[in-house]
Amino acid sequence: MSRITLSRYLIEQTRNQETPADLRFLIEVVARACKAISHAVSKGALGGVLGNAGTDNVQGEAQKKLDVISNEILLEANEWGGHLAAMASEEMEDAYQIPGEFPKGKYLLLFDPLDGSSNIDVNVSVGTIFSVLRCPEGVTLPCEKAFLQPGVEQVAAGYAIYGPQTMLMLTLGHGVKGFTLDREVGSFVLTHDNVHVPETTQEFAINASNQRHWEEPVQRYVSEMLAGETGPLEKNYNMRWIASMVADVHRILTRGGIFMYPRDAREPEKPGKLRLMYEANPMSFIIEQAGGAATNGVQRIMELQPSSLHERVAVFLGSKEEVERATRYHREAQ
């Protein structure tokens, strides 16, 4: 049987009137940028790309060289095609306007160019996360306000994972498809049709070194999981934490699990570490489209009204039963 490449999949989506042609082009361009990032990541020390860039991003975090390179690759690839009205990145303080010499389109692209970048220098999987929104009608110079739409408004979301294989996981709002990069040919090939998160699980992911800072519902939930089959949940759990959200989410998409980055007492003014617009919303869209669930402990993440571009949020996502349990414990504690 002939292989279904990302291009063919997208063209067929357009033919079936599921995906507008300009959205198809946008996804193709993002995928091409991800191939370039994958190439840069894979060079490692040979390409002189490891280590810090010597700059901080808007969140005050030290940028890695590959954070900066990946951001540049995404901006350059996407600015000239005429499909975007503006872009926003975890690595840039303000929205990026399309340069005047290029035509503008009707979509907004948001991305975390290289998620999990603390793992770059230790050769552990990292990735690119992206989210696509429509530019509000009549807005010609989209500033922050144009981007502040709840996750339910996303028209597409995906991530590329740069691991033993480079893969692109994509949702256009009707299920999740997984494509593996065939490096010799240079194409993403459909290898994972109808990706589905099992409803039940026995695996959780959380950075346990923050345990003393967690709020009561998270303490309760994790201690119940750790109690195993003689505890209230009556089953043994396994734990994994890669510190690379793409890699943790990818594992959950493959074999189930719950991922948690709760708010904690380290920085009480911040509701969690992960960013709503670049990480939590696109990952929630993917997880929900694969049959899982995603909340901030109390509400569905995709229904949250963002108040700023770089807003943070607590994240509980993955297998439905466990996300519902974690959410119930939070609601009971309110």
List of residues contacting ligand AHM (CB under 6 A): 61, 90, 112, 115-118, 207, 243-245, 261, 273
Note every long-range contact of 231-235, with CB atoms under 8 Å and residues 24 or more positions apart, other chains counting: 235/202
Binding piece for Mg ion, criterion CB under 5 A, among 81-89, 112-120, 185-193, 230-238 = 112-120
Dist CA 325 CA 291 (whole Å) = 16
208 binds, among ligand AHM, Mg ion, none (CB under 5 to 8 A by kind): none
CA of residue 275 relative to chain centroid, distance: 9
Those residues with Cβ within 8 angstroms of residue 274's Cβ, 6 or more apart along the chain or in another chain: 245, 261, 280, 312, 313, 315
Smallest distance, Å, CB 245 to ligand AHM?
3
Do 246 and 118 contact (CB within 8 A), yes or no? no
Q: What is the DSSP letter of 136?
A: P
Smallest distance, Å, CB 226 to ligand AHM?
18
Q: Give me Rg for the CA atoms of the chain.
A: 19
| Under rule CB under 5 A, residue 115 binds Mg ion | yes
Binding piece for Mg ion, criterion CB under 5 A, among 72-80, 105-113, 145-153, 232-240 = 105-113
Burial pattern 164-182, b for ≥16 Cβ within 10 A else e, equals eebbbbbbbeeebbbbebe
56 binds, among ligand AHM, Mg ion, none (CB under 5 to 8 A by kind): none
| Under rule CB under 5 A, residue 288 binds Mg ion | no
Q: What is the DSSP letter of 175?
A: -
Considering the complex, state which of residue 115 and residue 288 has its C-beta at the smaller distance from Mg ion.
115
| Under rule CB under 5 A, residue 248 binds Mg ion | no
- E strands, 50-92, in order: 52-56, 62-64, 84-89
295 binds, among ligand AHM, Mg ion, none (CB under 5 to 8 A by kind): none
Smallest distance, Å, CB 294 to ligand AHM?
14
**Which residue has its beta carbon closest to ligand AHM?**
245
The two tokens of residue 221 are 């939930």
Considering the complex, state which of residue 23 and residue 276 has its C-beta at the smaller distance from ligand AHM.
276
Considering the complex, state which of residue 118 and residue 165 has its C-beta at the smaller distance from ligand AHM.
118
| Under rule CB under 5 A, residue 112 binds Mg ion | yes
Q: By C-alpha distance, which of 274, 273, 260, 285 is closest to 151? A: 285
Q: Is the dihedral of CA 318, 57, 112, 52 positive or negative?
A: negative
Dist CA 111 CA 71 (whole Å) = 9
Smallest distance, Å, CB 276 to Mg ion?
12
**Which residue has its beta carbon closest to Mg ion?**
115
Binding piece for Mg ion, criterion CB under 5 A, among 12-20, 106-114, 285-293, 325-333 = 106-114
Considering the complex, state which of residue 60 and residue 232 has its C-beta at the smaller distance from ligand AHM.
60
Dist CA 279 CA 296 (whole Å) = 13
- Interacting residues toward Mg ion by CB under 5 A: 112, 115
